[in-house]
Chain A
Amino acid sequence: METFVIGLSIASILFMVALGLAIIYGTMKVINLAHGEMVMIGAYVTVLATKHLGFNLYLCLPLAFLVTAGFGLVIERTVVRRLYGRLLDTLLATWGIALILQQLIRIHFGLGLFGIHIDGLGSDLQNVPVPGELQQTLHFLGANIPVYRAFIFVVALLLGAVTWWLIYRTRFGSQLRAVSVARNTAAACGVNDKRVNMLAFAYGSGLAGIAGVLVSGFKTVSPDMGTPYVVDAFLVVVAGGVGHLAGTFLSAGILGEVQSFVAMWLNDVYGRTVLFAVVILILLFKPQGLFVSRSR
């Protein structure tokens, strides 16, 4: 049961990161390799806000969302907007942005961010303290459930619900769906497609920022912490079926649990090996992913 809940929390992080990635790719057909850096920035925002502003983790969630959404907005307006329709160029440009962001954080904060020193490890290998109530364990069905891991799952569910509402129940969502599949038609109907792109990029980045806040509670905060997430999130998006919210949710759940259980029984390396094997199997038997968007 504990492993299952830990798997759910891994799945939840994957879901939040993948959801942002899927929205950005679905709308703009841009593979955003700087998406992992939004996770990293979300985590650094948490560190700085707790250290200097006295924020707790709850307050860091909206703050990180706003900051990373702002980063996303700037990246879209200054770089990505000039490269639409050029997949390879956007890949290279966003990869470059990822490297720049990593190095800027490394240069600016260095190893002294936390002001502590651990012999042999360096001084910045630390995760953020979570509020006391989230450090508890819950006894459920004879198992000890870490409350923080359950909290991550609840946040992911809430974000999934908000995103669903935004996409399927609002005017902006209708514009977003129209731009993602019929850009010219949407523009001819008065939809400002550039504005939709910009807001979608910002929202997707913001989701990754929230994931960063939650990750900072159990993982080391470091400049390159986001890189593995962008790879895993791509696996989730591809295995789930591009452009399908439910597919992303299901795929994140499966991959998160697989990784968690295998890592528990064997180790992390096997966990990731099996994860990749599962994705390959899914794509062998369902080349378009678990869910396929209907578009007759």
Chain B
Amino acid sequence: MNKLKDQCGRRGERIFSNLCILPSLAGVLIFFLIPFGIVVYYSMINNPIVHEFVGFDNYKKLFTTVAFQKAAKNTAAFSLVSVPLSVILSMALAVMLERNIPGKSVFRTFFLSPLMVPTASVVLVWQVLFHAHGTINQIIEKFGGTGIDWIKSPHGQIIIVAMFLWKNIGYNMILFMSALAGIPRDILEVAELEGAGKWYQFVHIKLRYLSPTILFVLILSLINSFKIFREVYLLTGDHPFDKLYMLQHFMNNTFNSLDYQKLSSAAVLFSLIMIVIMAILLIAEDIFGKDVEN
């Protein structure tokens, strides 16, 4: 009898926990998922007036669009460089600040300060730094080199990689610091006693405990690598030089030219790639997750 009551109670609790999700689910459905379904539909019709089903024609057209090819290439290159870089650098900084160095908390605040500055003001500063007659070129020229017009150069992506790292490393570093603090001390002490060097400790012990955080920071960095477009856009406008032309530029411009078919297929394609990446990361989590537990 008691067991039955317990089960009924359990059921009520289950229902409550399910109900908790409903409002958000309704919102996500209305504002993101259902309209996204319409986008998928748009990507398969010829135009919004005739509504004729054309299968994958829009996708074929998209792939042959030069602007899309360029944008996809630039975005992929940027994310492939900047995301791993931000993970590695922020982890390195966290390990460094883990040491007993003075003024640690001040440094921490400094590293977090990019979160405070309004995006537009930051862009202004970056303009000063990377201008053809700006600070970086002045420094280069002082050492006898010749400056270049960074924004219009083939090295333009350096600017956004730098902007991205500057903005995001601080927070990622904090995530790593809290993960480092969570590593059981006794394991490290045993390793120390057995004469394991710092490097050995890092690779064989710390890195294992950090692996969930690495995955987490990877995802945050991926999201933020797409958000950095805001800065790029403010820096360069609608039609930047070659190397700075990102997928988001392409989407913005096709939106402004009302080419919904092309835009929809680009959006769907992008989502598919993200789903694949996330699925891979989830599998990786299962593998590494078990590794730490053992």
Decide whether A and B assemble into one complex.
no
State the B residues within 8 Å of A (CB): none
